[in-house]
Structure 1
Amino acid sequence: MRFLIIIPAHNEEENLSFTLDSLQQQSFRDFKTVVVNDGSTDRTAEVIKKYTDHDSRFETMDLQKSAHQPGSKVVNAFNNGLKTQNMDEFDVICKFDADIILPGNYLETLESAFKNNPEYGLVGGLLYVEQDGKWVYEGNSNKQHVRGPMKAYRKECFIQIGGLRETLGWDNIDSILLENMGWKEMVLPELQVKLIKVKGADYTIRPADYYGRYFYFLGLNRFLAYIASSKEAAKSRSVSFFFNIIKAYEACKTEKLELKISKEEQQAINDKRWKTLKKKWLNM
């Protein structure tokens, strides 16, 4: 199998070399990497050039800086990188971040998983962060979900779900849609991916606004959005947090902001959420 790896990068001069080094050190070598320089103002371009000048598996493209919004920015860069390639030449499409360190057997293990399990549509490892000099599981999501920094899709699955959506919530939309189409998402816990910096640290959007917009762009109906908001408010032990999330969600509905999913996809997402709700909360 041949891998196409797209890496969006904005001002990653301190981190990117760790990611690209870990790719060069992979035991599996049949891949092409496109680093999308998304309007960087630091030395990111110089870092990329060190690899493209000496390794034909690495390419780059330059973009003007994308709008700095959670979700849409990184997917916009990814999609622009994807347009430069002929997908017919590849079997696996990867979206990696520019601040991760992959174990040396990462791609080899993914290839084996895809080859031996034709139902696998999305495969990845687990994220680890450094704390007190040790790498520990990030714990920011359940261990059955492949996180955004290290997604690898079987090409047929990627095409079927319509690729990645330039919207907040893309990281969950893909998982729900592929499962609805009969594919499986698989996390391989033995693959420990090191995350160099904390995600979302450079976003200026307030947490309540983030969740309200996230639930809207995920396509949740009002009932499920309110349930999800109450869950987040309970974590924060703040009633005002609940109302602020709802305020942001309702503002999106009032403005009728464009969703990047169809009515049918929106229904599939709500059905999945409802099933999860019944299973976890209602024991049904």
Structure 2
Amino acid sequence: MSTQQNDSTNSRRYLAVTPCRNEEQYIQTTIDSMAKQTVLPACWVIVDDGSTDRTPEILAEAAAKYPWIRVVKRADRGERAVGPGVIQAFNDGLDSVNIDDFDYLCKLDGDLGIPERYFEGLMEILENDPLRGNISGKTYIETGSGKWVSERMGDENAIGPTKFYRVSCYKDIGGFVPQASWDGIDGHMCRMKGWIAESVDREDLRLKHYRPQGSSQKSIWTGRKRWGRGKYFMGSSLLYVTAVALYRMPERPFIVGGIGIFWGYLRARLGGVDRYDNPEYLRFFRKYEMDSLLKGKRKTLDAANATIRAHASANSDPRLVTQKSAPGTDSGSKDLVA
């Protein structure tokens, strides 16, 4: 581990929280990656969500070895509960500490290979831009030939497997919605509240993802249907989801994955599944989504970020004056939507 830590990051405290269940295949890799970080977490809470494999033993050994690891155990609910279950476990971990003791918070998956300078790099980005609320690198997945390729996730939010937040921003958006697509809703809530949310593809911020996004321990088909159902819950239009499904069809499993997303969305729509009950968010989100279809996702994100910066400058946003403060007490944002 590097002993020459950047001054601005060395003085910052970050908390990582990892909900996991039956993760014996990958969790040790994630633990080893965290132990090699150039800036270690002030605390890493790993929530064992009722594992029935060797995960509890692996976590106990890690907690005994590393004083910054804390394990929280939950009762076995009988199965992996994605969406709401993940956030319930995450919140249990968060409740075990005082969030105000930290500057940054990361929701971290337990199936990742993490570059050594990953968290130091993220903190440097946030320290240099006080309007950024969440940030992440990009995940890469292994192909059948052994090559690691981009998972092709959008730039408009920190990716779900590793959401790195300013504590002040996380509190500003009210935390994560305990439903499917929580990891899509949060980025748009950030923009509504005047924070920039983004993921960046930089070589030192590329993570190895051993369980691809939109997959499931049961099957890719199950995972993609769940993805489509989540898109319905978060407010996506049929037109937009059709575009998403077509975009994903060239990915493995070819054609089937895209159809799974569309079918999951359609079943939720026809079945009368509830949607996220936040009219202000839905108006904001649907405009952003339509702009993405008409102008492209990158141009839409750049325009949204420019609006946030212009609004902050015009309103003498205190974040532009005070970039550093005591843990958890960064100056709050000013909403873009009144």
**TM-score by shorter chain over 0.5:** yes
> Separation in 2 of the partners of 1:194 and 1:109?
16
1:201 maps to 2:216: yes
* Kept after mapping to 2: 8 A contact 1:208/1:248: no
Q: What's the secondary structure of 1:53's corresponding residue?
A: helix
Normalising by structure 2, we get a TM-score of 0.73
Shift of 1:262: 2.2
Shift of 1:219: 2.5
The change in CA–CA distance for 1:42 and 1:241 in structure 2 (over 3 A counts) is closer
**Residue from 260, 269, 279 that aligns with 2:285:** 269
AA aligned to 1:278 is L
8 Å CA contact 1:52, 1:59 repeated in 2: yes
For the Cα contact (< 8 Å) 2:159–2:199, is it kept in 1?
no
Give the residue type in structure 1 aligned to 2:150: Y
User: Compared with structure 1, are the counterparts of its residues 211 and 48 closer, same or farther at alpha carbon in structure 2 (3 Å cutoff)?
Assistant: closer
- Say which of 104, 118, 125 aligns to 1:113: 125
Q: Percent identity?
A: 28
Q: Unaligned stretches of 5+ in structure 2?
A: 1-11, 250-254, 301-338
* 1:142 lines up with 2:154 in the alignment: yes
Q: How many positions carry a matched residue from both structures?
A: 275
Q: Distance in 2 between matches of 1:23 and 1:242?
A: 33
Residue identity opposite 1:279 in structure 2: K
Q: Secondary structure of 2:296's partner? A: helix
**Distance between the aligned counterparts of 1:12 and 1:49, measured in 2?**
14
The one-letter code sitting in structure 1 at the alignment partner of 2:66 is D
Amino acid at match of 1:210: R
1:192 aligns with: 206
Matched letter for residue 226 of structure 2: Y
Is the contact made by 2:51 and 2:76 (CA closer than 8 Å) also made in structure 1?
yes
From 2, 16, 41, the equivalent of 1:5 is 16
What letter matches 1:121 in structure 2?
G
1:92 aligns with 2:108: no
State how far apart, in whole Å, the 2-side matches of 1:244 and 1:21 are: 39
Shift of 1:241: 7.2
Please name the residue that 2:166 is paired with: 154
**Following the alignment from structure 1 to structure 2, what is the Cα–Cα distance between the partners of residues 32 and 242?**
36
Q: 1 or 2, which has the higher strand percentage?
A: 1
Secondary structure of 2:137's counterpart equals strand
2:71 matched to 1:56? no
Aligned in 2, Cα 1:56/1:234: closer, same or farther, shift over 3 Å? closer
Change (3 A) 1:112 1:244: closer
In structure 2, the partner of 1:77 is 89
Q: Which ranges in structure 1 are unaligned for 5 or more consecutive residues?
A: none
Asked if 2 retains the 8 angstrom alpha-carbon contact of 1:2 and 1:30, the reply is yes
How far does residue 243 in structure 1 lie from its aligned partner after superposition?
8.0
Q: What one-letter code is carried by the residue in structure 2 that aligns with 1:183?
A: W
Q: Which amino acid aligns with 1:134?
A: K
